[in-house]
Homo-oligomer: A and B are copies of this chain.
Amino acid sequence: MKVIKSIPEVREAVKCAKKEGKTIALVPTMGYLHEGHISLVRIAGERGNFVVVSIFVNPLQFGPSEDLKEYPRDLNRDIMLLEREGVDLVFAPDVEEMYPEEQLATVEVKGLTEVMCGAYRPGHFTGVATVVMKLFNIVQPDIAVFGQKDAQQAAVIKKMVKDLNLPVEIIVGPVVREEDGLAMSSRNVYLNSEEREAALVLYRALKKGENLLDGGVRSAKTVIESIEKEFEKEPLARLQYVYICHPETLKEIINIEKGAMIAVAAFIGKTRLIDNILWEG
């Protein structure tokens, strides 16, 4: 497994792989890998035969009051985990390599970025779309794999690819959870033991919503109120939003149908967590 920090070297390595007829599959990450990431790497390995994992904590997607500095990093551990998975190439550039001069060009995805997390994290999805565009142009993958945990990110990237005719297929891997239901996230490391317990409220509330749907409820209002109530019972949690929408357009849904997504964001102490479920009906 190669670990490369320079853009020209990545281009060269991918060029060689393409010459050998390989299908390039990219998994973009911010590192500090967990089983969620590893599941995406495995999907990449099933769909492609030259797997590239990028590890880059992208400053452009962090707001001024957000956790860029504190964001957990452990490149050596990440490399060890990826080596074990048989990854071909790790691209781990530093900030200077990715942003050598003032970044004036950005990718905006209107409509999909004003709702959900976008409403609370202005500029976040512009930062995400821009760095993913850069990574796509550097690596030029045939396939790229994202996680459903970051549902809005997946929707934004899909729309970017469609609208800008990017020659890459987007695959979205399912949410991976701890045994007790907590969605895997690099930010879970911020939680103390009390908060770790309290964080279960996200999935518990989503499951309560799902149960209502399974029981025949179709009103988004009823489902949302039930989820809000579940959060009220958890003193360490502060619900930011609950939103029911189409998983690709992110358009709000009033009367729920099969395929709808229920998404929540909440602070557990100072840690902001997100989660979602797709209701398959």
Which residues of A are interface residues toward B (Cβ below 8 A)? 7, 11, 101-112, 129-130, 133-134, 137-138, 140, 159-160, 162-167
Contacts and interface: CB of A to CB of B under 8 A. Distances in A.
Nearest to A138: B165
Contact of A164 (B110, B134, B140, B167): B134
A129 B105 contact: yes
A137 B167 contact: yes
Contacts of A138: 165
B133 A164 contact: yes
Contact of A106 (B107, B137, B162): B107
A134 B166 CA distance: 8
A105 B137 contact: no
A133 B103 CA distance: 17
Nearest to A160: B105
A140 B163 contact: no
Contact of A137 (B104, B129, B164): B164
Contacts of A137: 164-167
Contact of A11 (B7, B109, B129, B167): B167
Contacts of A11: 167
